[in-house]
């Protein structure tokens, strides 16, 4: 295809992505370096027979004008990155000096909001991803051995947790695990504790969110692995059987190596997707116990005062996190492409 | 496959069946339970006394005269204007799918037919964009949208969703177009067609399976989105998912959590029907990226 033709074909999609993805990324980097102007303060001196008093008032009009004429605010460099709500450089230094050992350091760091959100996001990402891979793989193996007629129906029901919006999925589960809901009451009965509430403890909230994450993501790995199982080399399986491999050995030495490219694909995709976890926290109203980086941004943006600079800073930090996770994907794509063009 | 499954020992067969039943319950029961509960009053669906109340609904019978009540639906759709959100979602989904397929097919087709190195870099860029969590972009949208009074409108949200959708659409359509033999449009060009005519008359008629699958995923993205729609739409223009989230804020205090339950069921029902009809396409779409990569 000629360059010119390519250009015209590609122009609409390219401009959409440039204007609404590339430009906003650029914009948040800039925004994160600015903070809204402080209010303009006028100092007036009131003198009466008993002496003079200085009075400070906010000049509302001047403040509004200033903020309107320079909506970006004033340049502060990396200050917002270093403040208590983000990387909290000074606080971390203090904690480092004051803490006697690493456990104490870790515990104190956990009190800083950004690091707390980071801790949850990473825990969620790195527990949900392996669990959903294993769970999806087992479902795929089980469904694959089913009778043909049952497969379609099983796949239909299996798709449901993945296809609904995360917010709705988490609400549906949330109502069930409510202390007055069916699962919540069952748990109270099992543990013989009528006051048991999953919402009240940080640990249980995390478990609840992780269980939700696996429930939501397992169908994806199931479907991909199931498709992979359809191309299983039967003759290799046969010869493994003749060599006396047990069923477990067949799975371990034949099936898993065959699915390996798919497993890497799903794992890499899921690492990136789980890193952006956020709707379940809203759905489960779990913000008191678990906050993620995305929720952090959401929280800054919502409400009466939209803290754009703070949100932009968190966004930049989140994007840096995603980029680290993205790196292996890029290397893989690069390798694939070179292999293909070498052929 | 069939003779292999016949050879399974009976113990393994039983444990597989138990596992499948277990998984199906986990996957489907929450939805069935919520559907059932949406026709009860709150005192039954969230019963402190006995969970069986949700099944036999003694309070609903006592208060409403029957075991089923449509009060939740009435409250959500009429009192809380959920119908407005349904219309908004329909509009958003329709225009997002339409626009994103139109510009996506053009772009994806061009990527699959050009052999220059820059196509690779464009695809890599799209992959990077695909990885960006949408919520991180919102801070970048708000300032200009406020300045130019674009905030709150459905049209703005549609365009943003289309753009966010493009990377995925491009990748998917690119891989579908690569499966269509190049000789098809090459021969049309030999016969004197321009590239666009070749696309219009030769490729469009055969591209529909790929386009339908991609369209389904665009639809899902627009339908399920919460991050963008909750941030960029004004109260009146809210789509269903952010509307449900706003129910949680207002109705829990009024004891009308059933409105939200009914709204959730109303939102999930169309998805059920969609999966029923397009299961094959969804599965092929999910695997397309994987098997290729």
The token pair at A19 is 């204007």
Look at A35-39, A298-302, B253-257 and tell me which has the smallest mean pLDDT: B253-257
Interchain CB distance below 8 Å, B291 and A228 = yes
In this prediction, residue B212 carries a pLDDT of 92
Are A148 and A231 found together in one domain?
yes
* A329 belongs to a structural domain: no
In this prediction, residue B157 carries a pLDDT of 95
* A13 belongs to a structural domain: no
What does DSSP assign to residue A52? E
Are A164 and A53 found together in one domain?
no
> Nearest-CA neighbor of B23 among A84, A256, A156?
A156
What does DSSP assign to residue B76? I
Rounded Cα distance between A189 and B250, Å, is: 31
Give the three-state DSSP class for A35. Answer: strand
Interchain CB distance below 8 Å, A17 and B163 = yes
* A192 belongs to a structural domain: yes
Q: Which of A261, A301, A334 sits opposite B139 (nearest CB)?
A: A301
Are A164 and A268 found together in one domain?
yes
* A232 belongs to a structural domain: yes
Domain span including residue A39: 31-72
Interchain CB distance below 8 Å, B8 and A145 = yes
In this prediction, residue B170 carries a pLDDT of 93
Q: Which residue of B has its CA nearest to A16?
A: B163
CB B34 within 8 A of CB A175: yes
Smallest CA–CA distance, residue A158 to chain B, in Å, is 6
Backbone angles phi, psi at A232, to 5 degrees: -60, 135
Give the three-state DSSP class for B233. Answer: strand
Are A169 and A230 found together in one domain?
yes
Question: For chain B, what percent of residues have pLDDT higher than 90?
Answer: 47
Is A22 part of the contact surface with chain B (CB cutoff 8 Å)? yes
Q: Which of A28, A158, A182 sits opposite B27 (nearest CB)?
A: A158
Give the three-state DSSP class for B152. Answer: strand
pLDDT beyond 90 at A62: no
Given A284, A305, A332, the domain boundary residue is A284
pLDDT beyond 90 at B2: no
Look at A41-45, A152-156, B108-112, B136-140 and tell me which has the smallest mean pLDDT: A41-45
Write the CATH number for A196: 1.10.3720.10
Rounded Cα distance between B132 and B218, Å, is: 17
Q: Which residue of B has its CA nearest to A309?
A: B139
Rounded Cα distance between A63 and A39, Å, is: 5
In this prediction, residue B290 carries a pLDDT of 56
Smallest CA–CA distance, residue A106 to chain B, in Å, is 27
Residue corresponding to tokens 């090459």: B186
Q: What's the complex ipTM?
A: 0.90
Is A291 part of the contact surface with chain B (CB cutoff 8 Å)? no
In this prediction, residue B253 carries a pLDDT of 55
Are A65 and A176 found together in one domain?
no
Rounded Cα distance between A109 and A324, Å, is: 22
Angle at A15 between CA A9 and CA A19, to 5 degrees: 170
Are A137 and A251 found together in one domain?
yes
Q: Please, which pLDDT band fits residue B3 given cuts at 50, 70 and 90?
A: very low
* A78 belongs to a structural domain: no
The token pair at B72 is 């939740």
Look at A210-219, A258-267, B204-213, B244-253 and tell me which has the smallest mean pLDDT: B244-253
* A223 belongs to a structural domain: yes
In this prediction, residue B103 carries a pLDDT of 95
Choose between B76 and A218: higher pLDDT. A218
Given A247, A265, A284, the domain boundary residue is A284
**Per-residue pLDDT tens for A216-243?**
999 999 999 998 898 888 888 888 888 8
Mutate to test the interface with A, among B96, B111, B125, B131 (most CBs of A within 10 A): B131
Interchain CB distance below 8 Å, A20 and B137 = yes
> Nearest-CA neighbor of A158 among B19, B292, B213, B223?
B19
Rounded Cα distance between A205 and A211, Å, is: 10
Interchain CB distance below 8 Å, A155 and B223 = no
Interchain CB distance below 8 Å, B226 and A326 = no
Question: For chain A, what percent of residues have pLDDT higher than 90?
Answer: 42
Look at A218-222, A300-304, B197-201 and tell me which has the smallest mean pLDDT: A300-304
Instruction: Identify the burial level of B277 via C-beta atoms within 10 angstroms of its C-beta, where 0-12 means exposed, 13-18 middle and 19 or more buried.
Output: exposed
What are the contacts of A41-46 at 24+ separation with CB within 8 A?
A: none
Are A162 and A52 found together in one domain?
no
Interchain CB distance below 8 Å, A308 and B135 = no
Residues of A in contact with B217 (CB under 8 A): none
* A79 belongs to a structural domain: no
Rounded Cα distance between B254 and A66, Å, is: 42
Are A49 and A186 found together in one domain?
no
Interchain CB distance below 8 Å, B272 and A160 = yes
Angle at A317 between CA A82 and CA B165, to 5 degrees: 155
pLDDT beyond 50 at A201: yes
**Per-residue pLDDT tens for B124-158?**
999 899 889 999 999 999 988 988 999 999 999 99
In this prediction, residue A316 carries a pLDDT of 94
Given A267, A284, A301, the domain boundary residue is A284
The token pair at A92 is 């971390």
- Give the number of other Cβ atoms within 10 Å of residue A24's Cβ: 26
Mutate to test the interface with B, among A139, A150, A164 (most CBs of B within 10 A): A164
Q: Which of A27, A322, A332 sits opposite B131 (nearest CB)?
A: A322
Give the three-state DSSP class for A112. Answer: coil
Computed over every residue of chain B, the mean pLDDT equals: 87
Rounded Cα distance between B73 and B260, Å, is: 9
Are A147 and A277 found together in one domain?
yes
Q: Which of B26, B142, B267 sits opposite A308 (nearest CB)?
A: B142
Interchain CB distance below 8 Å, A265 and B290 = yes
> Nearest-CA neighbor of B162 among B210, B114, B227, B94?
B94
* A227 belongs to a structural domain: yes
Residues of B in contact with A278 (CB under 8 A): 133, 135, 227
CB B122 within 8 A of CB A287: no
**Per-residue pLDDT tens for A141-158?**
999 988 888 888 899 999
Smallest CA–CA distance, residue A85 to chain B, in Å, is 17
Rounded Cα distance between B148 and B130, Å, is: 27
Going along chain B from its start, the domains and CATH numbers come out as 2-74 (no CATH), 81-292 (1.10.3720.10)
pLDDT beyond 50 at B293: no
In this prediction, residue B220 carries a pLDDT of 93
- Give the number of other Cβ atoms within 10 Å of residue B291's Cβ: 16
- Counting the structural domains of chain A, the total is 2
Where does chain A show beta strands of DSSP type E? 34-35, 41-48, 51-58, 74-75
Are A151 and A56 found together in one domain?
no
Interchain CB distance below 8 Å, A302 and B231 = yes
Residues of B in contact with A261 (CB under 8 A): 293
**Per-residue pLDDT tens for B160-176?**
999 999 999 999 999 88
In this prediction, residue B5 carries a pLDDT of 44
In this prediction, residue B250 carries a pLDDT of 59
What DSSP assignment string belongs to B250-272? HHHHHT-HHHHHHHHHHHHHHHH
In this prediction, residue B254 carries a pLDDT of 58
> Nearest-CA neighbor of A6 among B207, B276, B195, B7?
B195
In this prediction, residue B249 carries a pLDDT of 65
Backbone angles phi, psi at B93, to 5 degrees: -60, -45
Are A57 and A162 found together in one domain?
no
In terms of average pLDDT, the best of A26-35, A43-52, A129-138, B110-119 is A129-138
Smallest CA–CA distance, residue B285 to chain A, in Å, is 10
Interchain CB distance below 8 Å, B31 and A147 = no
Question: Which residues in chain A (24-63) have CB-CB distances under 8 A to chain B?
Answer: 24-28, 31
Are A145 and A62 found together in one domain?
no
């Amino acid at each position: 295809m000629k360059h010119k033709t390519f250009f015209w074909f590609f122009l609409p999609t390219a401009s959409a992505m440039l204007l609404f993805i590339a430009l906003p990324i650029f914009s948040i980097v800039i925004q994160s370096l600015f903070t809204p102007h402080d209010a303009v303060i006028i100092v007036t001196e009131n003198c009466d027979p008993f002496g003079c008093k200085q009075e400070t008032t906010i000049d509302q009009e001047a403040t509004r004008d200033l903020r309107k004429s320079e909506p970006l605010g004033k340049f502060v460099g990396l200050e917002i990155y270093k403040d208590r709500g983000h990387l909290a450089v000074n606080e971390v230094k203090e904690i480092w000096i004051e803490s006697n050992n690493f456990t104490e350091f870790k515990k104190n760091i956990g009190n800083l909001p950004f690091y707390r959100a980071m801790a949850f996001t990473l825990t969620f990402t790195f527990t949900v991803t392996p669990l959903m891979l294993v769970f999806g793989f087992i479902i795929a193996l089980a469904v694959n051995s089913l009778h043909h007629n049952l497969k379609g129906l099983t796949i239909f029901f299996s798709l449901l947790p993945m296809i609904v919006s995360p917010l709705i999925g988490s609400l549906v589960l949330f109502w069930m695990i409510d202390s007055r809901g069916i699962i919540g009451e069952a748990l109270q009965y099992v543990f013989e504790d009528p006051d048991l509430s999953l919402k009240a403890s940080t640990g249980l909230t995390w478990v609840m969110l992780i269980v939700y994450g696996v429930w939501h993501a397992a169908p994806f790995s199931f479907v991909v692995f199931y498709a992979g199982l359809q191309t299983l080399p039967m003759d290799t399986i046969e010869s493994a059987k003749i060599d006396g491999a047990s069923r477990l050995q067949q799975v371990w030495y034949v099936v898993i190596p065959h699915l390996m490219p798919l497993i890497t694909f799903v794992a890499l995709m899921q690492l990136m997707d789980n890193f952006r976890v956020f709707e379940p926290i809203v759905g489960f109203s779990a913000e008191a116990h678990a906050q993620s980086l995305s929720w952090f941004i959401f929280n800054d943006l919502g409400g009466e005062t939209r803290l754009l600079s703070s949100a932009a800073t968190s966004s930049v930090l989140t994007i840096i996190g995603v980029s680290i996770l993205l790196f292996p994907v890029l290397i893989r794509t690069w390798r694939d492409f070179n292999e293909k063009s070498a052929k | 496959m069939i003779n292999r499954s016949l050879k399974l020992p009976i113990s393994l067969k039983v444990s597989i069946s138990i596992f499948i039943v277990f998984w199906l319950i986990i996957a489907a029961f929450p939805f069935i339970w919520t559907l059932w509960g949406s026709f009860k009053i709150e005192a039954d669906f969230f019963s402190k006394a006995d969970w069986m109340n949700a099944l036999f609904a003694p309070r609903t019978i006592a208060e409403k005269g029957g075991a089923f009540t449509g009060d939740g639906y009435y409250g959500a759709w009429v009192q809380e204007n959920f119908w407005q959100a349904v219309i908004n979602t329909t509009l958003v989904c329709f225009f997002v799918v339409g626009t994103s397929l139109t510009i996506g097919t053009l772009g994806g087709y061009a990527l699959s037919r050009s052999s220059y190195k820059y196509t690779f870099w464009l695809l890599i860029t799209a992959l990077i964009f695909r990885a960006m969590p949408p919520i991180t972009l919102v801070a970048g949208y708000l300032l200009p949208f406020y300045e130019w009074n674009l905030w709150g409108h459905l049209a703005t949200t549609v365009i943003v969703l289309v753009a966010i959708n493009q990377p995925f659409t491009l990748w998917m359509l690119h891989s579908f177009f690569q499966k269509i033999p190049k000789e098809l449009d090459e021969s049309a060009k030999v016969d004197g067609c321009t590239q666009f005519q070749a696309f219009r008359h030769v490729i469009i008629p055969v591209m529909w399976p790929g386009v339908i699958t991609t369209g389904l995923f665009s639809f899902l993205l627009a339908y399920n989105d919460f991050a963008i729609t909750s941030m960029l739409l004004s109260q009146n223009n809210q789509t269903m998912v952010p509307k449900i989230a706003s129910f949680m804020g207002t109705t829990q205090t009024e004891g009308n959590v059933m409105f939200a339950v009914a709204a959730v069921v109303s939102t999930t029902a169309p998805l059920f029907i969609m999966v029923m009809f397009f299961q094959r396409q969804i599965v092929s779409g999910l695997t397309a990226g994987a098997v290729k990569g």
